[in-house]
Amino acid sequence: MSLLVPVASVTRRLLKTPAGGLWLMLSLSCPSGLLAAGNHDALKADAEQYFRDRVTPFVKSYCLPCHRSERPTRGGVNFTPALKTPEHAAFTENWKKADARVRAHDMPPKGARLPSDDERRMFAEWLPKLKYLSDKDPGPFVIRRLTKPEYANTLHDLFGVPPSVADGLPDEVAGQGYLNSLSPIQLEQYLAIADNVLRQIVAPPGHRRTEMEKRLFGASAKPSGDPRRAAREVARSLARKAYRRPPTEAELDTLVATFDLGTRNKLAYQQALGLMLKGILVSPQFLFITPAAGAEPGVAGTEAGIVPLDDYQLASRLSYFLWATMPDEQLMTLADRKQLHLPAVLQAQTKRMLDDPRSRALFDGFGAQWLNVGGLQRQTFDPALFPQMTPALRQGMYDEVRLFFESIVRDNEPAIRFVDSDYTYLNGTVAALYGMENTVRGPEMRKVVLSDRQRGGVLGMPGILAATSLPNRTSPVKRGVWVLEQVLGEHVPAPPPDVPALDKQDPAAVANLTMRQRTELHRTNPVCANCHQILDPIGFGLEKFDAIGRWRDHDTNGQAIDSSGELPGGKHFSGPADLKGIIAQRNADVARNLVEKMLAYALGRKLEGYDEIVVDDLIGELAGDGYRMRAIINGVVSSYPFTYRRIEAQRRLHEQN
């Protein structure tokens, strides 16, 4: 009991300050899997009562006066329908935004009736309960178009053409969701790429056939029997690979009709097959990842609109998640045998794929997006201030983060290693930013043990530090937000629209101020103070790294940089090493954030409702082994949302009955 008294007293003191309460709630807002392992019905009943008796009166008193069903809706937030079905996915973002605003004392606005600190804490305790209102549901199977890298890799694996064949396609916007439309311009681009592929693999009439042509269309240039029957068998083989599943007879009819069109237009047999192949390459079945046409009869759960992924769907989902390309023959063979879904088989295939060099795609697709380094090659830096930011250095920055990520996966290290480690990967170009240009030379990236505790982990990597900087200076705010959102998984509310940025400060008044002093001056605005009390100290702790990640003791004005700080709760630090130590204490939060972001990426959608319970359970299972990276990936691959899907039409029918 003697140990509990000081903790309780410290907690009470901490909650007396808005920022202290915010930091504590942030650190407590992600419960472990213990609750989810209990009785879901009891947890759901508790959440329903909590919402009815406590949250609803709060929303009616403090939120509905502004955010109700009226035009225009203030801030784009309407709580009137959310009070009727709070668990609906459409309102999840509203609840998260409200939670962040209320905890930060941004809402209700100044001049409105304000809740007490007890009421704010009560409202903050609501968000972790929201998930228990959801029924067990894996979510929909997201029909999505292949991303540019996935499309390029798939063409390479199918036909051996270089991935650069797809360079003309526009880059996608990063996010958890994927594009599922196809404009006329994009269709023209896909047609042009298909023509390019065919020119590389199908020889013109009268020329010697290519080896790829023989492999795809058969050893003989002309069939010995019925050309249409032969074309159908070629179509069956091609479509199985391109569609990532066996084609239906109706799909084969369509492809043979394309072959017939070619022969009617006097194309030779091989060229008519080429036209049929072109039809495959611009078909939705190839360009999109889609669910099966229908659930297998008699599958458990079909009546409620929830079914397991069939083995072909699972093969595609797994392959595009880990390799960003089509399933290989081993995966397809297991799918043919209906064995891939077996837990031991699925785990063995995941290990095989992670051990394969193609697993680099997990970083290029997921890791670069999560750590926000995917845009380094395009990011703008003032060439007068940072002439070092050459394409070679940008690539080296990216490769350092990539190789570090890959090493944690390969060696199955704990997720917290992303925050604090004693090694990195450098070449001569990047080593110069570390002051190690005399010990690391040449263009080859290699593993380097670090003795400087200020470095080590993603917080001290030049690529991360550059990605969170502005073109001409560091940004403590951007760095603070990055740590909270990308490392700890917190939701940081956007700044109010009427608050000026630092660059709008009077140049003469701030000419001799350090970046810390300028940011603290900005924080005197009471609207900004609460969030910035947490954001700014984290950013200040990284301020001795300049905009491209070099260590410095003085700023551009020659003034000494103070990288010390204090987080709410009396957590002091003197620089990056201490700050990493504080963040590393939130091991479970770092792991949970990684699981959530990776699962959302694997599913191609935002997490919602029952997904959060799945994450709770997974975090509980991972804790005993220290949240190791391969265990996290295996957990995502074997999870309920990854291996099951909702059938919308059947689910609606079930709910109506």
Q: How do residues 308-367 score in pLDDT, each as one tens digit? A: 999 999 999 999 999 999 999 999 999 999 999 999 999 999 999 999 999 999 999 999
pLDDT at 27: 43
Phi and psi torsions of 424, nearest 5°: -155, -170
Q: How do residues 404-418 score in pLDDT, each as one tens digit? A: 999 999 999 999 999
Does the pTM surpass 0.75? The reply is yes
What is the β-pairing status of strands 571-573 and 644-646?
A: unpaired
Find where tokens 């502005």 sit: 470
Residue type present at position 27: S
> Which whole-number Å values give the CA distances from 112 to 22, 122, 497, in the listed order?
21, 19, 18
Q: What is the 3-state secondary structure (H, E, C) of 36-59?
A: HCCCHHHHHHHHHHHHHHHHHHHH
407 burial via Cβ count (<10 Å: 0-12, 13-18, 19+): middle
Q: Are 18 and 101 in contact (CB under 8 A)?
A: no
530 burial via Cβ count (<10 Å: 0-12, 13-18, 19+): buried
pLDDT at 345: 98
240 burial via Cβ count (<10 Å: 0-12, 13-18, 19+): middle
606 burial via Cβ count (<10 Å: 0-12, 13-18, 19+): middle
DSSP E strands, 237-357 = 288-289, 306-308
Domain ranges of the chain: 15-133, 144-289, 367-476+491-574
DSSP label at residue 494: P
Q: DSSP of 98-152, one letter per residue?
A: HHHHHHTT-SSPTTS----HHHHHHHHTTHHHHGGGSPS---B---EEPPHHHHH
pLDDT, averaged across the chain? 86
Q: Are 657 and 332 in contact (CB under 8 A)?
A: no
- How many other CB atoms are there within 10 angstroms of residue 435's CB atom? 12
pLDDT at 290: 87
pLDDT at 474: 94
Residues 6 or more apart whose CB falls under 8 angstroms from that of 257 comprise: none
Phi-psi region of 435 (alpha: psi -120 to 50; beta: other; left: phi over 0): left
Give the span between the Cα atoms of 328 and 346, in whole angstroms: 14
Give the span between the Cα atoms of 87 and 76, in whole angstroms: 19
pLDDT at 509: 55
Q: Are 412 and 631 in contact (CB under 8 A)?
A: yes
Q: Exposed e or buried b for every residue in 209-234, given b needs 16+ CB within 10 A?
A: beebbeebbbeeeebeeebeebbbeb
Low-confidence stretches of the chain (pLDDT < 70) are: 1-38, 71-76, 173-181, 292-304, 495-533, 568, 648-657
DSSP label at residue 112: S
Q: Helices 311-322 and 343-355 sit at what angle, rounded to 10 degrees?
A: 30
pLDDT at 9: 36
Residue type present at position 83: L
Three-state secondary-structure class, residue 544: coil
Q: Are 644 and 306 in contact (CB under 8 A)?
A: yes
623 burial via Cβ count (<10 Å: 0-12, 13-18, 19+): middle
Give the span between the Cα atoms of 151 and 353, in whole angstroms: 19
